[in-house]
């Protein structure tokens, strides 16, 4: 077997006490960086780059450290989603929907263990997928042009309405607010500024991290102040962490399906982990149906997005290694590191530099097992970091978030924006309008608009171009069905329930 | 447990504020880690220290925003007499300045120290494309401007967009507004769109395409350089009768209000980097071609480039 021979080559390089130590350190730092709101995987990796150079690490050692941080941050994001209802990073956004209700119901430990396990399955399968399918999957990117990408984002949007279970109109309103914010910045097809008020700081649009920290962390502070700290949501206790084997087993198909879908979302350049976790959550929600109880704190609701976003993290490495096209912000940073280490990613990398590729894959597998150990038996360590009294924790988290945001651009303007988003989040939550669709609107809206307009440029404005391939037609039909089906099916589904009420 | 949180805060604070005290010189990369400007800053900074041109390691700061405009306005408004500050620049800097994309800032608000390498511009098609030479492509566009769409790594009006337009103008084609262009996330993405058949040609930099060339997926129709790029058997546009040179230079600018002596000193330091064996190695490893212009020479060259870009941009309607 080729793969086994290559893998043993990889382990031969990656499995030394020194690199193992780097993997453990990287996983630990990564998990903390991921858990802190405002600091995501891309910040974590970017912060550590100078360190790898000043330590004089060679290519493999540097990659082991940085990918451990990457995977660690993907694991860590869920911790604050579940315990604080503040996503630690963008991909962990969907985990708040069921993770936090679980934690409120006193099952924080279960939620952390199940999601940790799901993260492991997702990341593990994605690494296997990277190993087996990478040369094959690099061709997939060639099948996706503007029309296909547009259809993909359309599919994501058509299911947005279903995200909040109690009031679809409010969810739709929230996603429109997000879309409006996504319009700010340079117009993608003319390069001219739009709704920036002439302010240079707005030329690049609004960063999702700014919106997340504002809408979640800062608005939480406002609630905390309003209630004089009495009824704060924060400060959930985790007494005993046991492994709910039966529940993990009950989510086995959810984990497998989500891993596959998440991996695929990661492979597509530009789609990335956030879209992966979003689509897996919506898929599992519709498979489970009304009775699945998604949004009320069910095991599948935390397993799906975590398996999805970790699988997407692995998937994003496929186009980065085989095409040199980063599938996410973090892989863009990793790509830069590779280039600085004189490794040119591209179609020839697998044959020209096998020691780098297989060393990387072996180190991903190692990191994954280290992270499973850290995030299941030792999860209490991370919980303790977040379980200081709310009066200390909330300002602390906000301060760290602010530092993280400041490190994005090094300008105070983003900090003002964070506070403005905090006020927006406070108002929205008072009106019982969900904030998650706002973020998704910002996250997906910009790309969706750009792809549509690129498609129109290529086709001279012929809308039929959007149906020019099987992939795009299929995705558009799926999104129309996904949008309409709940409206008609609800009548049939809810009637018997109404009677029994 | 509190200690851990405080530790995390302290560490983050350290990362954020370490720039001010511990370092003598700062290099601002006006983009996130990973791009060309970041590369310029990190490599030049490292070599400056390694060859002893500066006493302490140079601190690299990433100041992303507005395509470099944020860093530009910070330098102009807040640090215009800081003589320990260098900022990474490239063709994108001058293109945006020419197009007034930095919110009213102009090229004369800073001083351009020099360029020490260039990434040659290229026009690329998929390996199975019917276009064998640059003139095949130009003729096809002349016959039907809508038949060829370009993909490039910069936004509409950016340097990658201007390259094919310069080629077409030099070949006598004037309806340049009819040429289709989409801007995607970087050169590699532009190539996947072209190999996938969504666009017919790709415009970008040499360094972005080397990996694909080895894999046999693409064909380079022309490099936009004065002479053939060493190590590659690819004809230039000039050889094919189209007189266009478009290279993405890598260099530095400094604040305007530093003294002439300090400006000359930076020029000398940059020249020392350009002459170093370390820099030759960096260029060879990253597909960069030698391109050294320093000091007053460079400043006047930049002024010419800005004027040309402004004219072309006006024609395609990016500026009024």
> Tens digits of per-residue pLDDT, A249-291?
888 899 999 999 999 888 876 666 778 888 888 888 888 877 7
Q: Tell whether A498 lies on the interface with B, counting CB pairs under 8 A.
A: no
Residue B7: pLDDT above 80?
no
Which is nearest to A268 in space by CA: A213, A223, A335, A331?
Answer: A331
- Which band of pLDDT confidence, cut at 50, 70 and 90, is reported for residue B4? very low
Q: Which of B8, B62, B76 to mutate to test the interface with A (most CBs of A within 10 A)?
A: B8
- Which band of pLDDT confidence, cut at 50, 70 and 90, is reported for residue B240? very high
Q: Which of A193, A324, A334 to mutate to test the interface with B (most CBs of B within 10 A)?
A: A324
Of A323, A385, A406, the CB nearest to B16: A406
Ranges A409-418, B13-22, B236-245: which has the least confidence: B13-22
Q: What is the pLDDT of residues B152-190, one digit of tens each?
A: 988 888 899 999 999 999 999 989 889 999 988 778 888
Tell me the nearest-neighbour CA distance from A241 into chain B, angstroms. 18
> Which A residues in the span 12-71 are in contact with B, Cβ-Cβ below 8 Å?
32, 36, 39, 46-47, 49-50, 53
Q: Which of B35, B46, B151, B182 to mutate to test the interface with A (most CBs of A within 10 A)?
A: B182
Chain A hits for B183, Cβ within 8 Å: 188, 191
Residue A401's pLDDT is 78
Which pTM does this prediction carry?
Answer: 0.78
> Which A residues in the span 135-174 are in contact with B, Cβ-Cβ below 8 Å?
141-146
Residue B277: pLDDT above 90?
yes
Question: Stretch B24-50: mean pLDDT, rounded?
Answer: 85
Which residue of B lies nearest to A381 if distances are taken between CA atoms? Answer: B1
How many helices (H) and strands (E) in chain A?
Answer: 23, 2
CB distance B189 to A466 below 8 Å: no
> Would you call B215 and A348 a contact, using CB atoms and an 8 Å cutoff?
yes
Residue B300: pLDDT above 60?
yes
CB distance A279 to A231 below 8 Å: no
**DSSP per residue, A215-257:** IIIIHHHHHHHHTTTSS-S-----------HHHHHHTHHHHHH
Chain B hits for A323, Cβ within 8 Å: 188, 191-192
> Would you call A204 and B15 a contact, using CB atoms and an 8 Å cutoff?
no
Quote the percentage of chain B above a pLDDT of 70: 92
Handedness of CA A452, A458, A463, A466 (dihedral sign): negative
Question: Stretch B288-304: mean pLDDT, rounded?
Answer: 89
Residue A186's pLDDT is 81
Of B8, B61, B318, the CB nearest to A191: B318
Q: Which of A410, A450, A468 to mutate to test the interface with B (most CBs of B within 10 A)?
A: A410
Chain A hits for B6, Cβ within 8 Å: 396
> Would you call B65 and A340 a contact, using CB atoms and an 8 Å cutoff?
no
- Which band of pLDDT confidence, cut at 50, 70 and 90, is reported for residue B15? very low
Q: What is the pLDDT of residues B103-126, one digit of tens each?
A: 788 999 999 999 999 999 999 999
Cα separation, A100 vs A78, in Å, equals: 10
Of B16, B70, B184, the CB nearest to A411: B70
The burial class, CB within 10 Å (0-12 / 13-18 / 19+), for A401 is: buried
Which residue intervals of B151-259 are DSSP H helices? 159-170, 187-195, 206-214
Tell me the nearest-neighbour CA distance from B297 into chain A, angstroms. 30
Residue B259's pLDDT is 92
Tell me the nearest-neighbour CA distance from B150 into chain A, angstroms. 9
> Would you call B8 and A385 a contact, using CB atoms and an 8 Å cutoff?
yes
> Would you call B149 and A457 a contact, using CB atoms and an 8 Å cutoff?
yes
Tell me the nearest-neighbour CA distance from B171 into chain A, angstroms. 23
> Which A residues in the span 374-413 are in contact with B, Cβ-Cβ below 8 Å?
384-385, 387-388, 392-393, 396, 399-400, 403-404, 406-411
Residue environment code for A6-31, b if the CB has 16+ CB neighbours within 10 A, otherwise e? bbebbbebbbeeebeebbbbbbbbbb
Q: Which residues of chain A have pLDDT under 50?
A: 494-501
Domains in chain B: ranges and CATH:
25-119+248-316 (3.40.190.150), 120-240 (3.40.190.10)
Three-class SS of A252-297? HHHHHHHHHHHHHHHHCCCCHHHHHHHHHHHHHHHHHCHHHCCCCC
> Would you call A146 and B182 a contact, using CB atoms and an 8 Å cutoff?
yes
The CA-atom distances, in angstroms, between A43 and each of A192, A347, A405, B18 are 29, 28, 10, 16
Residue B234: pLDDT above 80?
yes
End-to-end CA distance of chain A: 61
Residue A455's pLDDT is 93
Chain A hits for B62, Cβ within 8 Å: 46, 410
Beta pairing partners, B289: B118
Q: Which of B73, B103, B198 to mutate to test the interface with A (most CBs of A within 10 A)?
A: B198
Of B46, B67, B189, the CB nearest to A325: B189
């Amino acid at each position: 077997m080729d793969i086994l021979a290559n893998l043993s080559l990889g382990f031969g390089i990656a499995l030394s006490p020194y690199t193992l130590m780097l993997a453990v350190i990287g996983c630990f730092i990564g998990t903390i960086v991921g858990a802190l709101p405002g600091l995501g995987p891309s910040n974590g990796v970017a912060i550590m780059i100078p360190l790898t150079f000043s330590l004089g690490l060679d290519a493999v050692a540097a990659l082991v450290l940085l990918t451990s941080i990457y995977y660690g941050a993907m694991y860590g994001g869920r911790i604050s989603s579940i315990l604080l209802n503040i996503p630690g990073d963008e991909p962990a956004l969907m985990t708040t929907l069921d993770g936090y209700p679980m934690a409120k119901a006193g099952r924080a430990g279960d939620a952390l263990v199940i999601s940790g396990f799901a993260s492991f399955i997702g990341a593990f399968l994605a690494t296997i997928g990277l190993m087996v399918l990478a040369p094959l999957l690099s061709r997939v990117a060639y099948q996706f042009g503007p029309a296909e990408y547009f259809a993909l984002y359309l599919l994501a949007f058509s299911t947005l309405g279903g995200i909040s279970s109690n009031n679809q109109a409010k969810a739709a309103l929230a996603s429109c607010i997000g879309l409006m914010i996504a319009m700010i910045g340079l117009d993608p097809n003319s390069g001219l500024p739009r709704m920036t008020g002439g302010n240079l700081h707005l030329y690049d649009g609004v960063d999702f991290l700014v919106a997340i920290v504002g809408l979640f962390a800062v608005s939480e502070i406002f609630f905390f102040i309003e209630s004089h700290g009495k009824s704060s949501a924060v400060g959930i206790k985790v007494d005993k962490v046991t492994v709910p084997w039966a529940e993990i087993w009950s989510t086995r198909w959810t984990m497998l399906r989500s891993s596959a879908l998440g991996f695929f979302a990661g492979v597509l350049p530009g789609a990335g982990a956030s879209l992966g976790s979003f689509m897996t959550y919506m898929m599992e929600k519709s498979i489970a149906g009304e009775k699945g109880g998604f949004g009320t704190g069910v095991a599948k609701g935390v397993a799906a997005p975590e398996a999805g976003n970790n699988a997407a993290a692995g998937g994003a490495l496929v186009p980065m290694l085989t095409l040199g096209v980063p599938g996410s912000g973090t892989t863009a940073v990793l790509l830069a590191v590779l280039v600085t280490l004189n490794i040119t990613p591209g179609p020839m990398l697998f044959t020209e530099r096998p020691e780098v590729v297989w060393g990387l894959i072996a180190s991903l597998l190692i990191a994954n097992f280290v992270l499973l150990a850290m995030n299941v038996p030792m999860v209490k360590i991370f919980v303790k970091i977040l379980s200081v009294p709310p009066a200390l924790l909330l300002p602390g988290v906000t301060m760290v978030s602010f530092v993280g945001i400041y490190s994005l651009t090094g300008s105070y303007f983003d900090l003002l924006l964070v506070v403005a988003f905090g006020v927006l989040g406070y108002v929205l939550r008072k009106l019982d309008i969900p904030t998650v669709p706002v973020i998704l609107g910002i996250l997906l809206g910009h790309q969706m608009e750009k792809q549509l307009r690129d498609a129109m440029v290529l086709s001279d404005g012929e809308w039929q171009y959007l149906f020019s391939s099987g992939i795009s037609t299929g995705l558009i039909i799926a999104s129309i069905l996904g949008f309409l089906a709940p409206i008609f099916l609800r009548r049939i589904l809810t009637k018997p329930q109404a009677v029994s009420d | 447990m509190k200690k851990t949180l405080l530790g995390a805060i302290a560490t983050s604070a350290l990362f954020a504020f370490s720039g001010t005290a511990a370092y003598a010189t700062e290099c601002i990369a006006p983009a996130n880690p990973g791009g060309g400007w970041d590369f310029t800053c990190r490599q030049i900074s490292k070599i400056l220290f390694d060859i002893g041109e500066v006493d302490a390691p140079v601190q690299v700061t990433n100041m992303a925003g507005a395509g470099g405009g944020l860093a530009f306005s910070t330098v102009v408004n807040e640090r215009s007499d800081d003589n320990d500050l260098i900022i990474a620049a490239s063709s994108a800097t001058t293109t945006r300045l020419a197009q007034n994309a930095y919110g009213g800032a102009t090229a004369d608000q800073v001083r351009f120290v020099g360029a020490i390498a260039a990434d040659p511009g290229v026009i690329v098609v998929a390996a199975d494309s019917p276009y064998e030479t640059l003139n095949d492509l130009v003729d096809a566009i002349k016959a039907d401007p809508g038949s060829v769409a370009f993909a490039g790594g910069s936004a509409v009006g950016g340097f990658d967009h201007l390259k094919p337009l310069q080629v077409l103008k030099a070949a006598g084609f004037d309806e340049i507004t009819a040429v289709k262009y989409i801007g995607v996330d970087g050169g590699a993405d532009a190539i996947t769109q072209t190999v996938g058949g969504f666009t017919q040609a790709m415009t970008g930099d040499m360094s972005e395409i080397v990996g694909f060339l080895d894999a046999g997926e693409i064909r380079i129709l022309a490099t936009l350089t004065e002479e053939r790029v060493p190590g590659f058997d690819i004809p230039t546009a000039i050889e094919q009768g189209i007189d266009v040179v478009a290279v993405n230079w890598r260099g530095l600018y400094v604040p305007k209000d530093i003294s002439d002596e300090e400006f000359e000193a930076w020029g000398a330091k940059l020249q020392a980097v350009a002459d170093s064996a370390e820099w030759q190695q960096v260029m060879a490893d990253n597909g960069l071609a030698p391109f050294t212009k320093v000091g007053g020479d460079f400043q006047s060259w930049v002024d010419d480039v800005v004027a040309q870009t402004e004219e072309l941009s006006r024609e395609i309607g990016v500026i009024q």
